[in-house]
Amino acid sequence: MKKILVLLILIFMLISCGEKSNGSKEKISGEILIDGSSTVAPITNAVTEDFRMEHSKVSISVGVSGTGGGFKKFIDGEIDIANASRPIKQEEIEKAKSKGIEFVELKIALDGLTIVVNKDNNWISDISTEDLKKLWIEGSQIKNWIDLNPAYPNLPIKLYGPDQDSGTYDYFIEEIIGKNGHIRKDYSPSSDDNQLVLGVEGDKGALGFFGYAYYLEQKDNLKSLKINGIEPSEENVKTGKYIPLSRPLYIYINKKSLSEKLQVRYFVEFYLKNASVIVKEVGYVPLESYVEQENLIK
């Protein structure tokens, strides 16, 4: 009996220790401030929801002021993590250095920037990068669809796209218009991709562009265009066939936050461990592996 009693006590102690060990992460608290790309926001929001189920005492704020807007706040030390749909620019790196901000860059997904039109548009299903440039470049005289192609209707083109703080805006200019080019001014800009979706949905002559996940979410209400004969799809993005509009998506973490805020470290670890599943659920394309990046935060 004594042996059994001692054994039971040992088992109880081991279980108690295990519960304390497993419960240690549950006790973390504090806040995590995140801002930046509206393209990356759906991934980070989904990660946040799952993370809160395990760590309910951590307060997480996810803003969508655009990649450029997020980097401004990140460089000023206002946020812990910046969502970005483009790599950080050299001038932004220099500003960060001047303010003592060190960071870790992590790729978290692949995206296929998607060109969309109204679902009732029955005259175009494929557009060339050349025509995209003619349509969007500063000084363009294309006002109606017939101006782009005589076979198209004489219907005004209403353009919707990200604003100047968006990484998608920068990416589109570099890949379609040219690195030193500019987008025409007479389009409807927004830092919120949901507003762009609503704009295209509400106008038969509309055309816009934004991240692939936003198209998938509203694919019954929108029509995507092929680019040079290649449709936006998970397979085409992953294999690099969907060019030039396939791109990586990022998060940038303040190193000080990573080392001094336990909640930030746990969040980033959780992000990387669950990204492959969450990224796909949201509608983007997961990377082949996240293992190497996990070493960057240790």
Dump pLDDT digits (tens) for 190-235: 988 899 999 999 999 999 999 999 999 999 999 999 999 999 999 9
Q: Measuring CA to CA, how many Å separate 194 from each of 48, 203, 292?
A: 19, 15, 33
Q: Tell me the backbone φ, ψ of residue 42, rounded to 5 degrees.
A: -60, -35
**pLDDT recorded at residue 259:** 94
Q: Are 106 and 94 within 8 A, CB to CB?
A: no
Report percent pLDDT > 90 for the chain: 81
Burial of 120 (0-12, 13-18, 19+ CB in 10 A): exposed
Instruction: Answer whether residue 4 shows pLDDT above 70.
Output: no
**pLDDT recorded at residue 22:** 43
Instruction: Answer whether residue 21 shows pLDDT above 90.
Output: no
Instruction: Answer whether residue 269 shows pLDDT above 60.
Output: yes
What is the chain's alpha carbon radius of gyration, rounded to the nearest angstrom?
23
Please give the model's pTM, rounded to 2 decimal places: 0.81
**pLDDT recorded at residue 263:** 97
Query: Which residues, other chains included, contact 184 with Cβ-Cβ below 8 Å and sequence gap of 6+?
Result: 136, 137, 138, 139, 140, 159
**pLDDT recorded at residue 193:** 87
Mean pLDDT, range 267-289, rounded to an integer: 93
Mean pLDDT, range 6-30, rounded to an integer: 50
CA distance 203 to 224: 15
- How many helices (H) and strands (E) the chain has is answered by 13, 12
Mean pLDDT, range 170-183, rounded to an integer: 92
Q: Are 86 and 74 within 8 A, CB to CB?
A: no
Query: Which residues, other chains included, contact 274 with Cβ-Cβ below 8 Å and sequence gap of 6+?
Result: 47, 50
Segment 145-164, tens digit of pLDDT: 999 999 999 999 999 999 98
Q: Are 66 and 86 within 8 A, CB to CB?
A: no
179 band by pLDDT with thresholds 50, 70 and 90: confident
Q: Is 137 helix (H, G, I), strand (E, B) or coil?
A: strand
Query: Which residues, other chains included, contact 40 with Cβ-Cβ below 8 Å and sequence gap of 6+?
Result: 83, 84, 85, 108, 109, 249, 250, 251
Q: Residue 293's closest CA among 247, 239, 261, 252?
A: 252
Burial of 97 (0-12, 13-18, 19+ CB in 10 A): exposed
Burial of 56 (0-12, 13-18, 19+ CB in 10 A): exposed
**pLDDT recorded at residue 293:** 74
Which residue, chain included where needed, has tokens 């969502």? 83
